[in-house]
């Protein structure tokens, strides 16, 4: 294998003479940077790898071009029977967060590969498998993705490299709120107001006592302060905040939904959360004149529910709900589903407005010459945070302080009595969800790159979504199951993670060099990220 460090843009294309290839066969477009020239273990196949941007970005979807050539001797391009691209981080024990897909053949053995994403810095092993005449050839190479902060941090002031890294973490770098094209009313003020009312309305629940706001309390940064949530009954997982949700790609701890509006629909029908049904929700909208006017101004007429006398009907929930749903005519079911999806879109329009407020950290980064914004302990915590040997930035990066991915840190449970395998189950749920990006109720079924490049990696067993640590001091307890009551417990866990085992593998490595004073500084940083 050959190692290529791409962050410094020092890798140069191998010329045709150097590689034993006619120069005309290689990618000539200047915008495509050279990544690797890898030879198969058999020596019979070479692959030339190029990327559409250098340095290779972290946590950004991008494309590769791969050229396949026969060897040994003078290399000549050919079109193989199949080409598969994959990879992972052996040191962390997980694969790519996406499943790259070969999208088209350009001729001369060259293919375009879409859906490439690396969600953290570090050393990645990439595998390109080529099928020729019924035989698979495996080529492998490593890519060391280095962040701007991988240079050490010394002295009393930040150098320009460090300041560049700090600026990448500021809210100023976040840009405008992302547009969810599957929800055409996301930015409509009327939808925001309707969604706000529905978010706080308890009559959308089966007993009239639970609303979205029951678990997402504004006074607690839109969490509930409980170890695990409680609707009609106690739930299995901790309630995450919905602040900053518009910047997320996947929802729930296991990513079982691919949009904020699809997520908003689940609690309504979940038996232990709100316990209602889609028929009951649509009927509640029809029976409230204010809701009906607001809905129809956005989406058009509500469906007729004439002849439907049962209080509840839907494909999810108690058997009585499901039996009643099967008796509803197919056309009526679809019209109810459209209206139900629209309810989710209105709620999501409101939730999308819940954004993080700038903190002292953001003000400090935006005006570093202004003194007194951070104390010595907070600055020390910030230095520890961006120090690569502490690995905080691997997962908690960008303006939201999260890579939006899924990682196994040893908190999953293989015990049948409390089984929770995280992303591996959520991934399948997202694929099967009738309200996903590619479903008939989506407002844009064409641009669904997250679903298109899903990575069904076995390493996702036990992996959970990386939460933002903005405002973390306001949202205890912590982890997907609320196992830790304090920030200090979380930091102690990362300093001394549980032992790895076959039953419970994970990505964490011990950090014994961190002192108690270091943990004090990191805790000070985390508290400051909410002030």
Q: Does the pLDDT of residue 326 top 60, yes or no?
A: yes
Is 3-145 CATH 3.10.310.30? no
CA gap 497, 516 in Å, rounded? 16
The answer to whether 471 and 243 have CB atoms below 8 angstroms apart is yes
The answer to whether 50 and 31 have CB atoms below 8 angstroms apart is no
Q: Which helix (H) or strand (E) holds 334?
A: helix 330-351
pLDDT band at 255 (very low <50, low <70, confident <90, very high): very high
Q: Does the pLDDT of residue 227 top 70, yes or no?
A: yes
Fold of 162-175+358-528: Cytochrome Bc1 Complex; Chain D, domain 2 (1.10.760)
Q: Which helix (H) or strand (E) holds 281?
A: helix 278-286
- Higher-confidence residue of 43 and 496: namely 496
Domain 3-145 and domain 162-175+358-528, same fold? Reply is no
pLDDT at 200: 98
Range among 37-51, 148-162, 259-273, 354-368 rated most confident: 259-273
CA gap 495, 146 in Å, rounded? 23
CA gap 525, 359 in Å, rounded? 11
- Higher-confidence residue of 371 and 237: namely 237
pLDDT at 147: 53
Fold of 189-351: Cytochrome Bc1 Complex; Chain D, domain 2 (1.10.760)
**What global pTM score does this model have?**
0.86
pLDDT band at 185 (very low <50, low <70, confident <90, very high): very high
CA gap 51, 296 in Å, rounded? 47
Q: Cα 26 from chain centroid?
A: 35
DSSP 28-79: --TTSEEEEEEEBTTSSEEEEEEESSSSPPSS--EEEEEEEEE-SSS-EE--
* In the chain, domain spans: 3-145, 162-175+358-528, 189-351
DSSP annotation of 25 = G
The answer to whether 199 and 354 have CB atoms below 8 angstroms apart is no
Q: Does the pLDDT of residue 19 top 70, yes or no?
A: no
- Lookup: tokens for 130: 């080529």
pLDDT at 179: 95
CA gap 381, 522 in Å, rounded? 4
Backbone angles phi, psi at 246, to 5 degrees: -65, -20
pLDDT at 183: 98
Angstrom CA distances, 266 to 19, 251, 274, stand at: 55, 11, 9
Q: Does the pLDDT of residue 4 top 90, yes or no?
A: no
What average pLDDT is seen over the chain?
A: 89
Mean pLDDT value of segment 447-459 = 84
pLDDT at 21: 39
Within 10 A of 147 (CB to CB), how many other CB atoms are there? Answer: 21
Q: Does the pLDDT of residue 20 top 70, yes or no?
A: no
Most distant CA pair in the chain: distance in Å? 79
């Amino acid at each position: 294998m050959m190692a290529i460090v791409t962050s410094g843009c020092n890798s140069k294309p191998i010329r045709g003479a150097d590689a034993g290839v006619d120069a005309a066969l290689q990618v000539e477009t200047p915008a495509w940077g050279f990544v690797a020239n890898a030879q198969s273990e058999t020596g019979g196949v070479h692959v030339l790898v190029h990327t559409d941007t250098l340095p290779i970005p972290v946590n950004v979807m991008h494309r590769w071009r791969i050229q396949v050539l026969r060897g040994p001797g003078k290399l000549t391009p050919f079109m193989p029977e199949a080409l598969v691209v994959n990879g992972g981080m052996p040191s962390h024990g997980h694969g790519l967060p996406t499943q790259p897909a070969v999208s088209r053949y350009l001729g001369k053995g060259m293919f375009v590969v879409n859906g490439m994403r690396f969600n953290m810095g570090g050393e990645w092993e990439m595998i390109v498998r080529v099928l020729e005449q019924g035989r698979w050839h495996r080529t492998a190479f490593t890519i060391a993705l280095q962040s701007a902060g991988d240079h050490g941090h010394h002295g009393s002031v930040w150098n320009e490299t460090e300041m560049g890294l700090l600026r990448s973490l500021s809210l100023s770098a976040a840009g405008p709120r992302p547009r969810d094209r599957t929800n055409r009313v996301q930015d409509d003020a009327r939808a925001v107001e309707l969604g706000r009312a529905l978010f706080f309305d308890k009559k959308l629940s089966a007993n009239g006592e639970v609303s979205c706001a029951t678990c997402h309390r504004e006074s607690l940064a839109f969490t509930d302060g409980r170890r695990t949530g409680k609707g009609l009954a106690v739930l299995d997982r901790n309630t995450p905040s919905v602040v900053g949700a518009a910047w997320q790609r996947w929802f729930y701890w296991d990513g079982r939904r691919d949009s904020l509006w699809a997520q908003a629909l689940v609690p309504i029908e979940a038996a232990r959360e709100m316990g209602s049904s889609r028929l009951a929700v649509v009927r509640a909208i029809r029976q409230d004149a204010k809701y009906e006017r607001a809905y129809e101004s956005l989406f058009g007429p509500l469906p007729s529910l004439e002849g439907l006398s049962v209080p509840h009907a839907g494909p999810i929930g108690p058997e009585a709900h499901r039996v009643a749903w099967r008796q509803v005519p197919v056309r009526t079911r679809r019209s109810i589903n459209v209206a139900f999806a629209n309810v989710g879109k209105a709620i999501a329009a409101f939730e999308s407005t819940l954004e993080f407020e700038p903190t002292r950290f953001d003000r400090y980064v935006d005006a570093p010459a202004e003194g007194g914004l951070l104390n010595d302990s907070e600055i020390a915590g910030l230095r520890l945070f961006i120090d690569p040997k502490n690995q905080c930035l691997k997962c908690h990066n960008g303006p939201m302080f999260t890579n939006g991915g899924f990682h196994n840190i040893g908190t999953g449970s293989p015990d049948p009595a409390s089984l929770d395998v995280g992303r591996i189950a959520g991934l399948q749920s997202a694929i099967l969800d009738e309200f996903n990006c590619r479903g008939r109720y989506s407002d844009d079924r064409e641009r669904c790159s997250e679903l298109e490049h899903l990575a069904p990696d076995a390493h996702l067993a036990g992996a959970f979504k990386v939460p933002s640590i903005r405002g973390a001091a306001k949202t205890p307890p912590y982890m997907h199951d609320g196992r830790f009551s304090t920030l200090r417990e979380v930091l102690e866990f990362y300093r001394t993670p549980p032992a790895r085992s076959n039953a419970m593998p994970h990505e964490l490595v011990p950090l014994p060099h961190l002192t108690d004073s270091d943990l004090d500084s990191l805790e000070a940083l985390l508290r400051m990220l909410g002030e």
